[in-house]
Structure 1
Amino acid sequence: STNDWLTTGNWKLADGREFSSDELRAGGAVCLIGQTVQRELFGSTSAVGAQLRVKAMSCEVIGTLQSKGQGAFGNDQDDVVLMPIKTLQRRIVGHTRVNTLLVSMSDGADATRITATITQLLRERRKLAESDEDNFNVLDTKQLAETLSGTTKIMTMLLGAVAAVSLLVGGIGIMNIMLVSVTERTREIGLRLAIGALEREVLLQFLIEAVVLAALGGLIGIVLATGASLGLSALMNVPYQFNLSVNVLSFVFSAAIGVLFGYFPARRAARLNPIDALRHE
């Protein structure tokens, strides 16, 4: 391509320089490389000034690009070698065909109007009649981003539904355990009430037990999830970042589930008649 590719793609140089006008016009044997190429071929040493072999041609590395990371399709945007388009056409591919044109828009521009204008221009350049179908594709990355965002929202909703069902099942399990506990400790509850314990104290006791039970389960879940994430991160060679706020929120939510589903058993225990509770076998 040309230096306009850097502007259009919002690329910045990490080291070195751009192509000179002479190199662009004459097709000089020079290139710019991404951070992945820099790391894999040159390691920690500077690649500027080194020779890089592309097929049968050797080109001089005149600069390195700043990292951009993973693209929308999961591709490595830093795995790139950029050279003047005339160099590619004359020394490597042997023809002047161009496969891709990259166009950038200013903020607030009408993407629909620009796409229509580009489509009309390409049809004119390719001499297509009104009845002919387009023999090219115009891809709007904004529409692609919106599509990916919609897909992500749907996946988030599905995962949220699965998590909600899991929380509901876990909450019902906590409630059943607490109901069994109340039944088994009926005489103990009756004795506490008989010697002067207040209903709110008995209620608070069983609520604390439910919260501790739920919070402990949440803590175990966080530890297991973190361990599994670290293991998968090492296995799949992808980075893992521990988010403290998300984990704290999940722990608090687990405790809230204990309050929500532990309230009914606790209220049942608090409202027991001391006489009937002491007679319970």
Structure 2
Amino acid sequence: MGLSIISLIGLSCRSLLGNPVRSFLSGIGVFMGVAAVNATLQVGNISHAVIEKQLAEKEAPQVSISSKWNPITKNYARLGLEDVTILRKQLKGLQSISGMNYRYSVEVFFQNEQANPIAIATTIDFLNTLGRRLVAGRSFTPRDFNNYQPVVIIDQFLADTLFNKSNPLEQTIYINFRPYVVVGVTVNKPFWEQEPRGIVYIPMAIYSAITGQQEIDSLQLRPHKIENLESLGKQAQKILEQRFHGNEFWVWNTVEEILEQQKTLDSVSKALLVVGAIALIVGGVGIANITIASVIERTPEIGLRRAVGATQLDILLQFILEAAILSLIGGTIAIITVHGATVVVAEQFKLPYQFDR
């Protein structure tokens, strides 16, 4: 009759305690292997968290397209609203698209306050394209465009500059001495890494009516998935170069540097994972060698136990339980140690870190 599981566990523990050097060496092998793999995973987790934090601080991942100077025609390609419509229909993986015109310094007045923000004339879906969130008010509506309503959306920086802490919604501001009504306020986001100076968004319809300019300076395209940025830009460039034969277009994205960092970190994480796996295998081989050696060393003990009635299954289970107990203890200590070290490093260097359960 075989031993009960409780008896086997007790026997395994007594055996491990009776051979502390052997148990310690086996535990060290498990500790090193698990620690190497776990440290590799934590490096990957922190790296991805850093990338996500950088992406959150920037504009939404998007492709920007504008025309290059054509030395033959001595002009730029005249992008227009019809190009927005064509690209929206033909591009695969496109979430939203917006046309934009930039004026890098305008005079804005509200009562006795004055500012010189960047003015951006844009199409209706710009908030989604740029990934801007409204903190107050509303976005532009089709009615604003169809009726040429003189309305604007400003960012929080400009709202604080002009209105201090009062409510800017439905207030009339003057942009280059023309009245506009504030209907929305967006969060602050860096504009091409410049120091904040405020941004005011104007519907493209009223901008074109005032200035007579029907062309669009650039197109902003936001994909459904960040990994589609490059392919989306190439698709759009090919379509536009077919439409404007003989013209070339600049194509770049807002997170190119971050994507390069992500590729590098992914490569490093894979290399570290291989190193960690090798360390784990080496640790496992070490445990196997020590276990084999202990079996050979304990041959008289095994013979005695067989003589007093222990079955082959009892003896096999005892050795398996000893290995499992050592692996559990060594692995747990390794995870706790790596987690503690990661928390200290993350706090020291102000890195985002959250323990994965």
TM-score (norm 2): 0.42
Using a 3 Å threshold, how does the CA distance of structure 1 residues 235 and 143 change in structure 2: closer, same or farther? closer
Is the Cα contact below 8 Å between 2:129 and 2:220 reproduced in 1?
A: yes
**Partners of 2:281 and 2:166 in 1: CA distance:** 57
Q: Tell me if the contact between 1:47 and 1:64 (Cα under 8 Å) persists in the aligned partners.
A: no
Aligned-pair CA distance for 1:150: 6.6
In the other structure, the counterpart of 1:114 is 236
**1:3 and 1:114, CA in 2 relative to 1: closer, same or farther beyond 3 A?**
closer
Q: Does 1:188 align with 2:301?
A: yes
> Deviation per CA, 1:43-81, whole angstroms, max 9, x where unpaired?
xx978649xxxxxxxxx99623399xxxxxxx99xx895
Contact 2:134–2:184 at 8 Å: present in 1 too?
no
SS in 1 for 2:220: coil
Partner of 1:83: 200
Q: 1:206 — aligned with what?
A: 319
Asked if 2 retains the 8 angstrom alpha-carbon contact of 1:15 and 1:64, the reply is yes
Shift of 1:174: 1.0
Instruction: After TM superposition, give the deviation of residue 189 of structure 1 in Å.
Output: 1.9
Could you say if the C-alpha distance between residues 105 and 203 of structure 1 is closer, same or farther in structure 2, counting changes exceeding 3 Å?
A: closer
CA 1:9 to 1:240, structure 2 compared with 1: closer, same or farther past 3 Å?
Answer: same
Change (3 A) 1:144 1:99: farther
Once superposed, what is the RMSD of the aligned Cα atoms? 4.9
Q: How far did 1:223 drift?
A: 0.3
Sort the Cα spacing of 1:165 and 1:81 in 2 relative to 1 into closer, same or farther, 3 A: farther
* Alignment-derived partner of residue 219 in structure 1: 332
Kindly provide the CA deviation profile for residues 182-213 of structure 1, in whole angstroms up to 9, marking residues without a partner as x: 24333222211121111111111011111111
Q: Secondary structure of 1:103's partner?
A: strand
The aligned residue for residue 166 of structure 1 is 279
Contact in 2 for aligned 1:8/1:104 (Cα 8 Å): yes
Equivalent position amino acid for 2:132 in 1: W
Contact 2:135-2:185 within 8 A present in 1 as well: yes
Which digits, 9 at most, give the CA deviation of each residue in 1:134-190, with x for residues without a partner? 4x5213689999988876664454333222201111101211222332243332222
Given the two structures, how large is their TM-score scaled by the length of structure 1?
0.51
Q: Which amino acid aligns with 1:232?
A: V
Query: Counterparts of 1:235 and 1:161 in 2: how far apart (Å)?
Result: 27
Partner SS for 1:240: coil
- Aligned partner of residue 196 in structure 1, secondary structure: coil
Measure, in 2, the Cα distance between the counterparts of 1:183 and 1:236. 50
1:13 pairs with one of 115, 130, 134: 134
- Structure 2 alignment gaps of length 5 or more: 1-119, 170-181, 204-212
Q: Which amino acid aligns with 1:103?
A: L
Structure 1 residues 204-237: Cα deviation after superposition (integer angstroms, max 9, x where no partner)? 1011111111121111111012112211221222
Residue pairs, 1:239-258, within 5 angstroms: 239-244=352-357
Greater RCO (CA < 8 Å, at least 6 residues apart): 2
Amino acid at match of 1:83: V
Identity of aligned residues (%): 29
Map 1:128-139 → 2, pairs under 5 A: 134=248, 136-139=249-252
Alpha carbons 2:122, 2:202 under 8 Å: kept: no
Whole-Å Cα distance in 2 between the matches of residues 158 and 47 of structure 1? 54
Partner of 1:236: 349
2:267 and 2:155 map into 1 onto residues whose CA distance is 39
Q: Distance in 2 between matches of 1:80 and 1:189?
A: 81
Contact 2:136 2:186 in 1 (8 A): yes
Contact 1:32 1:83 in 2 (8 A): yes
Distance 1:80 1:198 in 2: 82
Give the whole-Å Cα distance in 1 for the aligned partners of 2:308 and 2:292: 23
In the TM superposition, residue 3 of structure 1 has moved relative to its aligned partner by 5.4
Q: Is the 8 A contact 2:138 2:183 kept in 1?
A: no
Whichever structure has more helix as a proportion of its residues is: 1
104 and 176 in structure 1: CA distance in 2 versus 1, 3 angstrom threshold:
closer
